[in-house]
Amino acid sequence: MLKKLATGKVRYSSELVFRRTIARVLAFVMLGLLFSATVLAWYEESRDLLPGLLAILSVPPVALFWLRTSPDAAMRPLFLLTGGLMAMGAYLLLVQGAPQGGSLAWFIIFPSMLMFCLGL
């Protein structure tokens, strides 16, 4: 995935650049969703949602830091982010219950998003 040029610079493959871009976008979207869900849970006084949301809120910054410090990392941060999304969906499904919330929609959207980010 990395190719060292004669000038000493490193050239990245287009697949690596694509996966890293997808990971960054997914991390920022996930960070925004989790932050807004945490603020909404605080505002609506749903205190039972806060511990899990705050725990999962640590996943996107870790993935972004990993992408920043390791120039050839792409798949492991994507696995971390998709695992965080799975944990968030399962947590919201278990805490809110299936009939009430839109957390079931995460399991409808998740497989297609997973195949887009990680490939078949």
The pLDDT score that the predictor gives to residue 10 is: 58
Query: What count of residues does the chain have?
Result: 120
The pLDDT score that the predictor gives to residue 65 is: 92
Which residue did the predictor score with more confidence, 35 or 94? 35
The pLDDT score that the predictor gives to residue 118 is: 66
Asked if residues 78 and 22 have their Cβ atoms less than 8 Å apart, the reply is yes
Dihedral sign for Cα atoms in the order 22, 25, 29, 32: positive
Using one digit for the tens of pLDDT, what is the confidence trace for 37-78? Answer: 888 878 877 777 788 888 888 889 999 999 888 888 888 888
pTM of full prediction above 0.85: no
